[in-house]
Amino acid sequence: MELGFEEMARGTKKTLLVHRREGCDDCHGAGAGDGRPPVRCSRCGGSGYQTVNQGFFAVRRACHACGGEGMTVESPCKRCDGSGLAAKKREVALNVPAGIEDGMVIPLRGQGEAGPRGGPPGDLHCVVRVDDHDLFVRSPRDPSDLFVEVPVPVSTALLGGRVEIPTLDGTESLAVDAGTEPGATVRVRGAGLPRLQRSGRGNLYVRLGYDVPRRPSRKLKKVLEGFAELEQKEIGPARKKFADELEKHRRRVAENGDDA
């Protein structure tokens, strides 16, 4: 069963159209067209199997005449061909819990095919396939947690501000601290998916990335050139640390070259 991401998030009710075999109405599941009860199979003697010799070995197989049941009907029902089961279409109600994962199986007890000769019905196993979302990705560690990528203007990341982020219920405003580095992740508690078979909700993790124009306008380019000039004078902690490590690397290379 295909399930939309939003349907998975809130839980839903579905009606399945199931093709299954049920007790034949014409023979009432007995398999006999004349209403007579089944008789012992003449080929296997009612054991339901036959022994076939293959060289030095004897192999036991289900009887082909009775299909392993040990009983046959002399006048098979024309509708079910003596099986006692006829194909039918049924609508089955299915409750899908919120937060279900892709590939999970929901068992519906007693909604499978009927057993032979009036036996109890089996179960119906529904495999759920959840569609991907355009924005949200489920966490492989905790499926109730969600990740979302949000592009942020460079000026907002450097100076701080607010950006609009998507949530399962719509959108909300998120505060961005000044000096936020690209790839930083902000946790929004309780904004994830409902926890399956547990109380509460997971978290939403917002991964912030810089929105860098590929072709800046002349006005923006002029501003960026002035920014670049100031940036060379005001070095951040990451570049300062990298510059120190780079200088150590140059010295080691130079010393190794002198020793050679």
Q: pLDDT tens-digit profile of 174-203?
A: 999 998 988 999 999 999 999 998 889 999
The percent of residues in the chain predicted with pLDDT above 70, rounded, is: 97
Between CA 18 and CA 105 the distance in angstroms is 16
56 contact partners, CB below 8 Å, separation of at least 6: none
* Residue-level pLDDT at 43: 83
Q: What does the pLDDT average to over 146-164?
A: 92
Closest CA to 100 of 68, 144, 65: 144
Residue 137 pLDDT exceeds 80: yes
Helical (H) or strand (E) element with 242: helix 237-259
Between CA 208 and CA 174 the distance in angstroms is 11
Most confident of 19-28, 78-87, 153-162, 187-196: 187-196
Q: pLDDT tens-digit profile of 30-84?
A: 777 777 777 888 888 888 888 887 777 888 888 887 777 787 877 788 788 777 7
Rg of the chain over all Cα atoms, to the nearest angstrom: 35
* Residue-level pLDDT at 7: 95
Q: Which has the higher per-residue pLDDT, 103 or 218?
A: 103
* Residue-level pLDDT at 259: 64
Q: Which residue has the tokens 């599941």?
A: 29
Closest CA to 137 of 185, 76, 89, 72: 185
| Summary mean pLDDT of the chain | 87
* Residue-level pLDDT at 117: 65
Q: Which of 26-35, 84-93, 128-137, 213-222 has the lowest mean pLDDT?
A: 26-35
Q: Which residue has the tokens 């950006």?
A: 163
Closest CA to 42 of 59, 10, 64: 64
| In the chain, beta strands by DSSP E | 2-3, 12-23, 39-40, 49-54, 57-62, 71-72, 85-96, 105-108, 124-127, 129-130, 137-138, 146-153, 161-167, 170-176, 185-188, 204-211
The pLDDT-based confidence of 231 (bands split at 50, 70, 90) is confident
91 backbone dihedrals φ, ψ, rounded to 5°: -95, 125
What's the number of CA atoms in the CB half-sphere (13 Å) around residue 174? 25
Task: Provide the residue type at 184 as one letter.
Answer: A
Q: What does the pLDDT average to over 231-240?
A: 79
* Residue-level pLDDT at 51: 82
* Residue-level pLDDT at 215: 84
Q: What does the pLDDT average to over 96-120?
A: 89
What is the pTM assigned to this prediction?
0.71
* Residue-level pLDDT at 39: 82
Q: Which has the higher per-residue pLDDT, 260 or 120?
A: 120
Between CA 200 and CA 128 the distance in angstroms is 22
Between CA 224 and CA 174 the distance in angstroms is 26
